[in-house]
A and B are shown apart, each in its own frame.
Chain A
Amino acid sequence: MNAASPPSAEVSHRSQAAGQQPPQPLLKVENLKVHFPFARGPIWNRHRGVVRAVDGVSFEVYQGETLGLVGESGCGKSTTARAILNLVPPTAGHVYLNGQRIDGLDDQAMLPYRRQIQMIFQDPFASLNPRMTVGAIISEPMKIFGLGSEYDRRLEVLRLMELVGLNPRFLNRYPHEFSGGQRQRIGIARALAVQPKLILCDEPVSALDVSIQAQVINLLMELQQRLGLAYVFIAHDLSVVRHISHRVGVMYLGRIVELATAEELYARPRHPYTQALLSAVPIPDPAKERKRQRQVLRGDVPSPDREYPGCSFADRCPWVEPRCTQSPPPLEGTPHPAACFVANDPQSPRGK
């Protein structure tokens, strides 16, 4: 499946090296920030602050490619996706779709762009209206965008149901009559209804059992090949992300700390957080498990309502040095950038 993958990051890097005009990214996110202000305490002693849910995230997604975003809960992966669609207004930064700036647009102006970017949600139970039939759910986006006649839409719904592996006979059934995996297929069909170029998948398989999860992953990968879709695939499961993504960004406290092709990132992680994260994933093979040196991180994921003068990972980092707490490390190094002073230091034995 991989061999036939459409122009992925690897290709784009190669063409840049050859000095050609690089292809235009489908989606470009530039220094995106989403801060949520909050107030705590009684009125006479109010403490105000901001939660830096997303704090300067930049990446590009090319046509037909899957960009994975991994990280632990609260690292800002989902907020990033929502901010791209302007579902939460970004505090700073820009989002470009095919070179057009789309951040800060009002709902009316945003509408044509929403047709090109669709979303699949984590919870297949909460993201479908229980009072609508499957047919109505899948045809609703087409109705909103005024696509086709009533009759055309009906035919299209049947075609979509077939495409995602749902029996078209179930057209008039309600969501509660379906299992979790089937509901996720309904969500996928709904996202495909307006022929988007990009789908933001927010933990699309996390609520599913392993055997069903594999069915949905295969479906997403097949659809990508057939329709040339691009995905931003958000998940906390590192094995799933590695399987489906061409490139992967690792997020920690609102920032991307490392970004590379999936092979490269998993084979040679550079950032100490990525290394710890990978070593924490249990491998379903007891013989390998016993041989593994597990690097257990101290402490919890810190709260994003604090401001960090330096690297936000510093107080859990096994490599921490004095410079780490002074200024935030930039995401540096080509073709495999990492946001770590030590990893980027050619003098350091770890800096490779």
Chain B
Amino acid sequence: MLLEVEDLRVSFQTDHGLVRAVDGISFSLDQGETLGIVGESGSGKSVTNLAILGLIPTPPGRIESGRASFRGRDLLKLPRRELQKIRGDRIAMIFQDPMTSLNPFLTIAQQLTEVTMLHRGWKYKRALDHAVEMLERVGIPGAGRRVNDYPYQFSGGMRQRVMIAMALSCQPDLLIADEPTTALDVTIQAQILELIQQLQKEEGTAVILITHDLGVVANVCRRVNVMYAGRFVEEADVDSLFAQPRHPYTLGLLNSLPRLDEQRGARLDPIAGQPPDLTNIPPGCVFHPRCPFRIDRCPQEVPALTERIDNRRYACFVDVEHQARVAVKEN
């Protein structure tokens, strides 16, 4: 097991009260595996990964409990210096906005060589050669020349390629990609997703892909966790998740998507209501106020994310598939 996260809880103290951004999640990741984490804004996807990397500002943030064991060492307990040795070397990350994650005052060469000089102790010359090689691998034409350019001289897609080159410079075991294509146009998104997959195949890097886009998940991931209000509500391999969603929230998400591959003009079936206020999480199942399958038990008891009778893992008391079939008959 490369990474094992157990019962992670992260909260933030705000003016409006305590926000439970991540509320007890567990997952694990094998070497070379791709795990997707999907959810809407505020569901805690990014906070989960910032916590693993020790990047939660404290205060106002606080890691309440949990363990994140990476190759047997608990990342949440490591001293700062030790963590810095792992970050960028064994675990690398790509963020959503390639505009703000590069330093506008430094050339690409300066930013790309920093990683290997720091973690590998290379001299500048050698690091620069490596940087040019990485830029070539991520498909930047004229890499030897462009390495001396500043970030503003690159387009959004090219900047994200630079970020990927930087992330993969030390051949990390794990790459965390937080909404890597959200700021990009679709044709550029297709290029970047293809690149990530190709590099992953070559290097055997494990990837955690955080996204709100179910299409991207279907395209890239093998296994998916669906996150809602700080909790995982369903975990499944990508085929079962899309073919037979078991949690009402997953089902609701899929039903509210207009899709290119379906008959046009059908009415969308959105999830009613709004996502919950995280300072005031509803008792029992977090999704129950919006859930069409709600039963008496839901507001009283928190359903655990465990394996159910049908060998699937979801946090729900109701057999959604059966219920959905009944609903269709009644109509």
Contact B259 A211 (CB under 8 A): no
Contact B258 A240 (CB under 8 A): yes
Contact B187 A277 (CB under 8 A): yes
Those of A230-289 within 8 Å (CB) of chain B: 236, 238-240, 242-244, 262-263, 266, 276-289
CB within 8 Å for A1 and B238 given contacts A210-B253, A239-B258, A281-B186 = no
CB within 8 Å for A301 and B242 given contacts A283-B260, A294-B194, A296-B194 = no
Docked CA distance A276–B187 (Å): 7
Contact A218 B261 (CB under 8 A): no
Interface bin, chain A: 35 or more
- Nearest B residue (CB) for A239: B258
Q: Would you call B252 an interface residue if the criterion is a C-beta within 8 Å of the partner chain's C-beta atoms? A: yes
Contact B270 A212 (CB under 8 A): yes
Contact B253 A218 (CB under 8 A): no
Q: Would you call A166 an interface residue if the criterion is a C-beta within 8 Å of the partner chain's C-beta atoms? A: no
Contact A210 B257 (CB under 8 A): yes
Q: Would you call B155 an interface residue if the criterion is a C-beta within 8 Å of the partner chain's C-beta atoms? A: yes
- Nearest B residue (CB) for A245: B264
CB within 8 Å for A266 and B265 given contacts A72-B186, A209-B41, A236-B186 = no
CB within 8 Å for A285 and B268 given contacts A179-B274, A210-B40, A301-B185 = no
A1 CB contacts on chain B under 8 angstroms: 265-267
Query: Which of A179, A217, A284 is the one whose CB lies under 8 Å from B259?
Result: A284
Contact B265 A2 (CB under 8 A): yes
Write the nearest CB–CB distance from B238 to chain A, whole angstroms: 5
CB within 8 Å for A300 and B259 given contacts A210-B40, A242-B264 = no
Contact B190 A294 (CB under 8 A): yes
Docked CA distance A215–B40 (Å): 15
Query: Which of B194, B212, B268 is the one whose CB lies under 8 Å from A214?
Result: B268
Contact A280 B186 (CB under 8 A): yes
Contact B275 A72 (CB under 8 A): no
Q: Would you call B176 an interface residue if the criterion is a C-beta within 8 Å of the partner chain's C-beta atoms? A: no
Q: Would you call A73 an interface residue if the criterion is a C-beta within 8 Å of the partner chain's C-beta atoms? A: yes
Q: Would you call A325 an interface residue if the criterion is a C-beta within 8 Å of the partner chain's C-beta atoms? A: no
Contact B259 A287 (CB under 8 A): no
Contact A211 B260 (CB under 8 A): no
Docked CA distance A264–B155 (Å): 33
A301 CB contacts on chain B under 8 angstroms: 155, 185, 187-188
B264 CB contacts on chain A under 8 angstroms: 2, 242-243, 262-263, 266
Q: Would you call B327 an interface residue if the criterion is a C-beta within 8 Å of the partner chain's C-beta atoms? A: no
Contact B212 A289 (CB under 8 A): no
Write the nearest CB–CB distance from A208 to chain B, whole angstroms: 9
Contact B41 A285 (CB under 8 A): no
Query: Which of B191, B215, B271 is the one whose CB lies under 8 Å from A211?
Result: B271
Contact A282 B40 (CB under 8 A): no
A276 CB contacts on chain B under 8 angstroms: 187
Query: Which of B242, B243, B265 is the one whose CB lies under 8 Å from A243?
Result: B265
What residues make up the interface of B, taking CB atoms closer than 8 Å to A?
40-41, 155, 157-158, 185-191, 193-194, 212-219, 238-239, 242-243, 252-261, 264-271, 274-275
In order of increasing CB-CB distance, the 3 nearest A-B pairs are: A282-B215, A2-B265, A214-B270
